[in-house]
Structure 1
């Protein structure tokens, strides 16, 4: 069972980012990683999600307040 992995996705709404059209726009993004069973047992998901949110803000060149963690459903509703 040591080789079992799962995918972990965190979905974001990003406001006012140039990559999505600039001020007044909303874009959607996700980070998805594979994580092992042993990694799942050790993971601090709250800390991980917060670091991913900060990373997304840096990537999009916006303040972290412009990035919101959302559900997969919300992301899919707004991107399909």
Structure 2
């Protein structure tokens, strides 16, 4: 039997959220016409309600997308959220 309260358990949990993106036309990925892949990790999420709130989660994704676009100097339309499976399929040869 567990003697912890729900709040005590939650205080010991550390959640991370990893987002995967496809990026078109970035210089780092050889410029116009080329595609590359990147990911963003949001560590130390303590407010789990944040993950259940669709509008807050959507804003987190949009902020990440805009940040990647700004960092890679491409328009935000050139950055697309993708699944982990798609990311892994597209980048599996990159680890060699």
TM-score normalized with structure 1 length: 0.91
Large movers: runs of 4+ above 3 Å: none
1:39 match: secondary structure: coil
Q: How does 1:1-80 map to 2 (within 5 A)?
A: 1=9, 2-36=11-45, 38-43=46-51, 44-80=56-92
Alignment length, in residue pairs? 79
| CA shift for structure 1 position 7 | 1.7
TM-score normalized with structure 2 length: 0.76
- In structure 1, runs of 5+ residues without a counterpart are none
Greater relative contact order (CA < 8 Å, ≥ 6 in sequence)? 1
- In structure 2, runs of 5+ residues without a counterpart are 1-8
In structure 2, distance between residues paired with 1:28 and 1:4:
29
* More strand by percentage: 1
Aligned residues: CA RMSD: 1.2
